[in-house]
Structures are given as C-alpha cells and as structure tokens.
Chain A
Amino acid sequence: MHPAASVILFSTLSGLGFGFLAFLGWGALAPSGWAAFFLWALGYGLAVTGLLASTFHLGNPRNALKAFTQWRTSWLSREAWASVVTLVLLAPVALSGIFGLGLPRLVGQVGGALALGTVFTTAMIYTQIKAVPRWHHWLTPVMFLSFAVAGGATLSGRLWAPLALLSVGAVLLAVWRVGDGAFVRAGQTLGTATGLDRLGLPSVLDPAHTAGNYLKREMIFVVGRKHAAKLRKLALLLASALPALILLLPLGVWGIALAAALHLAGALAARWLFFAEAEHVVGLYYGARG
C-alpha cells in the first residue's frame, strides 16, 4: 500500500496522543496548575494534530461530518466517534487538573479507557481489510495498542516504561514474522484471481494499461527489500531499544523527552513499513505478487 504521509502521521501521532491521554485520564500523573496545562496540551496537541493530518488523506473533506453516521458497520466511523467522545469527556478532567476543581476520578478513568478504545478502532480500520492479508490479523491491534501504551508510559514517566518499550520491540518482531508469510497463507494467486487456475498456470502477457492508475499508485507500492530490512532494524532500535536504555539513565525530564522523541521517530519508521510492506491482493491482476 502507498505509505501516504497523512495516514502515517495520523495513526502515529494520534496513537501517541491518545496513549498519553489515557495515562493522564487514569491519573498516572496528577499535575496541577501550569504543569497540568502543558501536559494536557501535549496530549491533546498530539491527538488533534494526528486527527487533522488524517483529513489531508480525504479527497473530498467537506463531507467529513457525514463520517459520524455509519458507526453500526464502519470502523472508520466508530473511530471518528471514539476520538471525539474521548476528547470531549477528558476536557473537564483536564480543566479540573489545571484549576484544581476536584472532579471525581471515575470520569478520567472512563475517558482514559475510551482513549485506548480509540486506538483500537484506528487499528481495526486496517485489521478488517481481508484484501490486505498482512493487516488482517489480531496482531495489528496488539501492535497499535502496544505503541500507545509504551508511548503514554514513557511520556508520563512510569517506572515500567522501559519494559513497555521493549515489549513494543517484541510485538514488532512478531508482526513482521507473522506478516511476511501472510500473503502466501491467504492462498490467493493470479490463478484464483482470474479463475484461470482451472486451465493451468497463468502469468501476465500484456499489462492492461501502459501508464499508471489509481490502483497501481495506491495499492501496488513496491518497497526495496534491502531498504525494508534496514528500516526494520532502525525502527526496532529507535522505537524500542534506545529509548528503553535512555530511560534507565538518570537524566530526569530530559531523558524522558529524548526517549519519547526517539520512540516517535521509530514509530514513524515502523508505521511507514506497516503501509509500504502491506501487499493488496489486487496486485495479482497486475502480476505484482510473485
């Protein structure tokens, strides 16, 4: 799939933002005054920037409000609801923290749970797509949630944050290991795509069109294997190992900031791969899938 900057930024930033908001909502940090203002602003800033980035992916964004109508069937619509409800529900919690209003903790806890629920709905947008076998697996939401939890734990300075970061690495390794065989396991070939497996072994004779089209640009993105291998190592190092190590050093707030920045860079690399390496079955018609 085409690794569009808009969807990479959307899923990464909103994932980190909602992850951090979950920790703030649960009261992992109980800041007050200006400290509370800046921390909540960081959480809201990341989440909202991510959501805004997603609108750049739309060809016709003036209809965006209609995306709230189909929550019964569509994960994208559920994601729209979950994100807005979370942001609205946590607003009084943030104000209570900043101005010391003493709002009951339960509101924050519900909002925090919804924040992780939002990350789950984001993941399900991709997981539900059977035509992309690499995504169509329960490890996809596990991966999205592990990033959100590790990012939130890092930003809120949890003692166990290094463990959460290392578990992101383990999940990434599992995702790649399972994902690399997913297309073959799905069992679709040019033979099943055309039904010509009844006759024999089909292959492409002439392309249907010599120039590009939407399908080829959007769904038949081919990533160089060498670059992918390098990026995987880089993603592991940046998203998982390095920030975990830095958090163990006595660097205080600066350590947290550095670890979070490295983690975010690694998350972006991992998310780029998530799209770039995902093989859509429509590529079969164009002879693009071996």
Chain B
Amino acid sequence: MTALPQATEKRLGLVIDLDTCVGCQACVTACKGWNDGGIGLSDQDPYGASPSGTFLNRVHSYQVAVPDGPAQVVTFPRSCLHCDNAPCVTVCPTGASYKRAEDGIVLVNEDACIGCGLCAWACPYGAREMDAAQGVMKKCTLCVDRIYNETLPEVDREPACVRTCPTNARHFGDFADPESHVSKLVAERGGYDLMPGMGTQPTNKYLPPRAKGPGAASPLAPLLDVKATGIAGWLDRMLGKI
C-alpha cells in the first residue's frame, strides 16, 4: 500500500494563482466547512483564550522586497500538493497513507492510522495535521467526496476551496492531460513547484504574481516640494532662523 504507484492515470490537483488571491480565507472556511461533516476536523477551545484546531488549508501572507520595483504583498494558500513522489506515503508503517493509482490523490485511511505522526514529519509543506481529538492524521482529500459525487450538481463537483474562491484564484483539473485548463494555465503563466529541491515532485502548481512594472509617481508628489511665498514665506524664513 505505501509503495507509490509507478504512474497514475490521471494527475488531479490544483493551480493556485498568487496574482489573483486576495487572502480572504474563504477557501480555509469552505474547506473546514465541507470536511467538518462526518468524522470531522476537531477544534480545541474554539471560543476560549487559546483556540486551536485542525485545518487542511491555511493562508499565509508575505511581503516581498522587489529589487527594482515597489514592494508587494502576496497572500499564499498552503495545502497538500498531492506529490508524485510523496514522502508522507512511503514512511507510513501501517499502509494508512496512500496515493491512488487512478487519479494520484494522496489520502489517509483513518481506520488504519496509528497516529504516529511520521507522515507529518516527512512532509516539507506542513500539509498534514494530527487531529488532537481523534488521534489520527488529517489532510486535504482534494474533496474526493465531491469531485466524483453524482448526487451533487455538476457545477459543484470540484473541491470546496475551488468552488468558493471569489477571485478564481484556485483551479482544479487533470495535469496528465496537456489540453486541460490547469495544464494550459501552468504553461501560459509559468506555474512552478514549491521547494523543488526536496524532490517531492508536487502535482499542485503555483502561478507567480504578474510583474507590476515600476511604481508610478504619487499624484501627491508635487506637494512635497511646496515653497511658501508672501507672508507665509517671510514667516517660514524668520521662524527657520530662531
């Protein structure tokens, strides 16, 4: 089970567009909302002084000092990348952690999980979180219970985070198909892997923020160099001497 498949028929995953993401946290909420059903993602002290809980998706925000341009703020969603060479799968001693041969989704079989936490250690991206109430590992399922769910309207058969994103910063599709929406996006916009040096070969890709060009001069800039004239000018000179 914990041997990785040689190749998968489909390579389902996400493209996350850092250019359009506004960091609204809607994907975090939708993810928690959908996956909280059934067995659930527990919270500890949710309304108390030190709340904590299990989330499968978190949104960071970073500032980037750009060498010859204005600084940029980039909001950055982080979740499982469904790696082709997933180190979280091979370390699992029970076979609970596995990658599906048919579509490449990395899943946890909670009935076989012993909660040793080794898979979370093996993941460079912090994609796995141990549920403090259930003692088993939780991770993004790519909403496997939505994407194939024929009881849902077709428009809803995509991951909850993608469905909810108000700025269309998240895209779902099959990377094995070069003609798919996500493959084209990656080709057009230079989609990239996170920490390629870790050798994980992630399926999910990130699109870089578009180049913003040099910063335009502020419309208020002329006001910075105002010289006082007349009485005000005389006062300015006199007061400057005191």
Complex interface: stretch among B6-14, B55-63, B168-176, B218-226: B55-63
Q: Which of B1, B2, B64 contacts A199 (CB 8 A)?
A: B64
Closest chain A residue, CB of each to CB of B87:
A130
Taking a contact as CB atoms under 8 Å apart, the answer to whether B66 and A199 are in contact is yes
Given known pairs A60-B115, A282-B123, A285-B126, the reply for A194 and B194 (CB within 8 Å) is yes
Q: 8 Å CB contacts to B: which residues of A125-156?
A: 125, 128-132
Taking a contact as CB atoms under 8 Å apart, the answer to whether B87 and A64 are in contact is no
In the assembled complex, the Cα of A199 lies from the Cα of B124 at a distance in Å of 22
> Please, which residues of chain B bring their CB within 8 A of the CB of A200?
64-67, 71-72
Taking a contact as CB atoms under 8 Å apart, the answer to whether B116 and A194 are in contact is no
> Please, which residues of chain B bring their CB within 8 A of the CB of A209?
55, 58
Q: Which of A74, A80, A188, A204 contacts B60 (CB 8 A)?
A: A204
> Please, which residues of chain B bring their CB within 8 A of the CB of A205?
61-63, 73
Complex interface: stretch among B46-54, B141-149, B152-160, B232-240: B46-54
Taking a contact as CB atoms under 8 Å apart, the answer to whether B91 and A131 are in contact is no
Taking a contact as CB atoms under 8 Å apart, the answer to whether B116 and A58 are in contact is yes
B122 at the A/B interface (Cβ < 8 Å)?
yes
Given known pairs A64-B114, A213-B55, A281-B195, the reply for A59 and B94 (CB within 8 Å) is no
Interchain nearest-CB distance for B107 vs A (Å) = 15
> Please, which residues of chain B bring their CB within 8 A of the CB of A74?
2, 90-93
> Please, which residues of chain B bring their CB within 8 A of the CB of A63?
94, 96, 111-114
Do most interface residues of chain B lie in helix, strand or loop, or is the interface mixed? loop
Taking a contact as CB atoms under 8 Å apart, the answer to whether A60 and B135 are in contact is yes
B208 at the A/B interface (Cβ < 8 Å)?
yes
What is the 8 Å Cβ interface bit string for chain B, positions 112-134, against chain A (1 contact, 0 not)? 11111110111111100111101
B228 at the A/B interface (Cβ < 8 Å)?
no
Taking a contact as CB atoms under 8 Å apart, the answer to whether B124 and A70 are in contact is no
> Please, which residues of chain B bring their CB within 8 A of the CB of A204?
60-63
Q: Which of B58, B129, B136 contacts A60 (CB 8 A)?
A: B136
What is the 8 Å Cβ interface bit string for chain B, positions 148-191, against chain A (1 contact, 0 not)? 00000000000000000000000000000000000000000000
In the assembled complex, the Cα of A125 lies from the Cα of B192 at a distance in Å of 30
Taking a contact as CB atoms under 8 Å apart, the answer to whether A66 and B194 are in contact is no
A57 at the A/B interface (Cβ < 8 Å)?
yes
A49 at the A/B interface (Cβ < 8 Å)?
no
Number of B residues near A (Cβ < 8 Å) is 67
Closest chain B residue, CB of each to CB of A67:
B93
> Please, which residues of chain A bring their CB within 8 A of the CB of B193?
195
What is the 8 Å Cβ interface bit string for chain B, positions 12-51, against chain A (1 contact, 0 not)? 0000001000000000000000000000000000000011
A211 at the A/B interface (Cβ < 8 Å)?
yes
Given known pairs A70-B1, A76-B118, the reply for A130 and B64 (CB within 8 Å) is no
A202 at the A/B interface (Cβ < 8 Å)?
yes
Given known pairs A213-B129, A218-B130, the reply for A59 and B121 (CB within 8 Å) is no
Interchain nearest-CB distance for B234 vs A (Å) = 47
> Please, which residues of chain B bring their CB within 8 A of the CB of A132?
121
A174 at the A/B interface (Cβ < 8 Å)?
no
A215 at the A/B interface (Cβ < 8 Å)?
yes
In the assembled complex, the Cα of A198 lies from the Cα of B64 at a distance in Å of 10
Closest chain A residue, CB of each to CB of B94:
A66
Taking a contact as CB atoms under 8 Å apart, the answer to whether B130 and A196 are in contact is no
B74 at the A/B interface (Cβ < 8 Å)?
yes
What is the 8 Å Cβ interface bit string for chain B, positions 63-106, against chain A (1 contact, 0 not)? 11111000111101010000000010011111110000000000
Q: Which of B113, B124, B209 contacts A282 (CB 8 A)?
A: B124
Taking a contact as CB atoms under 8 Å apart, the answer to whether A59 and B65 are in contact is no
Q: Which of B54, B65, B72 contacts A214 (CB 8 A)?
A: B54
B5 at the A/B interface (Cβ < 8 Å)?
no
Interchain nearest-CB distance for A204 vs B (Å) = 6
> Please, which residues of chain B bring their CB within 8 A of the CB of A194?
60, 62, 74, 76, 194, 206
> Please, which residues of chain A bring their CB within 8 A of the CB of B92?
70, 73-74, 76
Closest chain A residue, CB of each to CB of B111:
A63
Taking a contact as CB atoms under 8 Å apart, the answer to whether B87 and A57 are in contact is no
Taking a contact as CB atoms under 8 Å apart, the answer to whether B63 and A202 are in contact is yes
> Please, which residues of chain A bring their CB within 8 A of the CB of B113?
59-60, 63
A1 at the A/B interface (Cβ < 8 Å)?
yes
B230 at the A/B interface (Cβ < 8 Å)?
no
Closest chain B residue, CB of each to CB of A69:
B95
Task: Show 27 A/B contacts (Cβ-Cβ < 8 Å), sorted by A.
Answer: A58-B114, A59-B117, A59-B130, A59-B131, A60-B114, A61-B115, A69-B95, A70-B94, A75-B91, A76-B92, A128-B91, A129-B121, A130-B122, A192-B197, A193-B195, A194-B60, A196-B64, A199-B64, A203-B63, A207-B60, A208-B60, A212-B50, A214-B54, A218-B120, A218-B121, A219-B126, A285-B78
Which A residues form the contact surface with B (CB < 8 A)?
Answer: 1, 57-61, 63-64, 66-70, 72-77, 80, 125, 128-132, 186-188, 190, 192-196, 198-209, 211-215, 218-219, 280-282, 285-286
